[in-house]
Amino acid sequence: MKKVVLAYSGGLDTSYCVKYLSEELGLEVYTALANTGGFSAEELAAVEKKAYALGAKKHVTLDITEEYYDKCIKYMVFGGVLRNHTYPISVSSERTFQALAIVRYANEIDAQYIAHGSTGAGNDQIRFDLCFHIFAPDKEILTPTRDLKLSREDEIAYLKKYGVENDWKKMEYSINKGVWGTSVGGKETLDSRTNLPDKAYPSQLKKEGTECLEIGFEKGELVSVNDKKITKTAAITAIEAIASQWAIGRDTHVGDTMVGIKGRVAFEAAAPLLIIKAHELLEKHTLTKWQQYWKEQLANWYGMFVHEAMYLEPVMRDIEKFLEHSQNSVNGVVKIQLRPYHFDLIGVDSPNDLMKANVATYGEMNNAWTADDVKGFTKMLAMPLMVYKAVNEKM
């Protein structure tokens, strides 16, 4: 029998693919979960159990969390990347690294086919296909959900036909989980007039009142949570564990897909939003005006390319060099107050805080210039506008 490696998550689409590829195409199905964090050991075990129950020949978990952080997440933090000022590019940024991991595994076992469960309406199909074309040109790509234009109801009916038992009510929502956030799609996100019900989100409100959280950065990277030194990915997980109990980080992203239609998805990303906003506040205190300006321009482009499957474009490595260099003085601790569904940035403590300079204090006295200096400077600054007004006054 010929082998196919399926990018498997345990959700409805990939569950359907396991059954279809084995029953209809007669292939040996090797399921591979490319883990980008966010899963507990129990959840990973449950996904593996489900894969074998569906008929997988072999299931593997490929842990790529650290690779994902080192090659992508840290640069999105450096850039403060929020797609359309809202979405921390959670799931979409994972896909390239998941696809690369799947390709490595498919090459390792000499599989003839490679498959994913993406539909034909969104961006994921392009993210997977693009990597497969570049790094596995000898393997045929199989995409049953896309090719057969299946609805979730169609997939459930097919699995029921083969006696597959599941909590179908729970599977009404498509949930993609990773260390940098969780996306949630359902019938409500397909209608511009409705939003997800509270119960659809994986994390529920568990606390009341307020709580203080402190996040430490060195050269723009996470180094501590509440004064405890911790590794980067462990820090993200720790912040998520704390903030998710306040139901922080919920929102809905609306944007343009690569196939030309509008897309809408809800997400839950407490840690990414807290980290990005805390880091942004620290940068306001430690970077110059023009560092912030040009970083914002390049970071917007970087986020767009990550989102639109172009992470592998060489210009991205050039932008990463700029972003990394910009972080040399981004050091310090940011204090945040958490409350139900919201958070407030309280302040920063940084050795590189430009407000600490003894040259001048905003709104107070200065030691670097005189009143006459300001009068002359202001007059020269006004000169081009005075000339324009004099020439065009009658207009």
Burial of 71 (0-12, 13-18, 19+ CB in 10 A): middle
- The answer, yes or no, to whether residue 367 has pLDDT greater than 80, is no
Range with the poorest average pLDDT among 255-264, 287-296, 339-348, 376-385: 255-264
pLDDT reported for residue 256: 87
pLDDT mean over 318-323: 98
pLDDT reported for residue 360: 63
pLDDT mean over 200-212: 94
Cα(24)–Cα(137) distance, integer angstroms: 24
Is the pTM above the cut of 0.75? yes
- Backbone conformation region of residue 38, classed left if phi is above 0, alpha if psi is from -120 to 50, else beta: left
- The answer, yes or no, to whether residue 169 has pLDDT greater than 70, is no
Name the residue among 281, 148, 123, 139 with its Cα closest to residue 217. 281
Residue 121: pLDDT band with limits 50, 70, 90: confident
Name the residue among 252, 253, 259 with its Cα closest to residue 309. 259
Alpha-carbon distances, residue 274 vs 19, 73, 213, 324, 338 (angstroms): 40, 14, 10, 20, 10
Check: CB of residue 330 under 8 Å from CB of residue 286: yes
pLDDT reported for residue 170: 63
- The answer, yes or no, to whether residue 395 has pLDDT greater than 80, is no
